[in-house]
Amino acid sequence: MQDLKLIALDPEDLRVLSCHLQDAVLRVGDMVYLKKELRFAAIANRFDWERATQPREGVYQRRRTGLRFERVTAAKVHGIDLKQKDAVLELLALTFEPGEEPSGTLTLLFAGGGAIRLQVECIEAELRDLGAVWRTARKPEHTSDDPSTTS
């Protein structure tokens, strides 16, 4: 399977990135806000959901992936201890709340209630697989109030 190289320039593109990043895991120490460069970047281990839908049941993959957001004017953290560099976070979704166009707030939502809110001049994001791929026997599962729905 080819490495993903995706760019997001609008909310619809961002939803595509969010789908590919659902259940990615990353260490707190693998995220950085570069204020002078107006950039937020992270390295994550994303679960390959596209491959998980293929017929080989029980054989899943994770891929090392780089993620960057440009034109970031501010970053705020909620429910994450930045001093614990080895703490592992599970990314659930990326969301965007528009402000005065084209600006807004891009939020990385993590399991357990943690979040990183990025004030952006506009949406400019990139997801790029970095080549490292490994097998995992575990597929992330989600529960809801309705026991008949899991993914």
Query: Any idea where the domains of the chain sit in the sequence?
Result: 5-136
Residue whose entry in the numeric block shows the structure tokens 């995220």: 31
For the stretch 94-150, pLDDT in tens is 999 999 999 999 999 999 999 999 999 999 999 999 987 878 877 888 765 444 333
Spatial CA neighbour of 5 closest among 129, 112, 99, 114 = 129
CB-side neighbour CA atoms (13 Å) of 9: 1
E strand or H helix that includes residue 133: strand 125-136
Q: What span, in angstroms and rounded, lies between the C-alpha atoms of 42 and 114? A: 16
Q: What span, in angstroms and rounded, lies between the C-alpha atoms of 88 and 101? A: 34
CA trace torsion 91, 5, 97, 48 (10° rounding): -30
Model confidence at 1, in pLDDT bands (50, 70, 90)? low
Q: What integer pLDDT is reported at residue 132 of this predicted model?
A: 78
Residue 115's alpha-carbon distances to 23, 50, 52, 82, in angstroms, are: 14, 25, 26, 12
Residue 39's alpha-carbon distances to 44, 47, 87, 114, in angstroms, are: 16, 24, 22, 20
Got the DSSP string for 61-101?
EEEEEEEEEESEEEEEEES--TT-TT-EEEEEEEEEEE-ST
Q: What integer pLDDT is reported at residue 51 of this predicted model?
A: 79
Q: What integer pLDDT is reported at residue 127 of this predicted model?
A: 98
pTM above 0.85, yes or no: yes
Higher pLDDT: 67 or 3? It is 67
Q: What span, in angstroms and rounded, lies between the C-alpha atoms of 56 and 42? A: 30
% pLDDT > 90, the chain: 75
Pairing, β 72-78 against β 88-98: unpaired
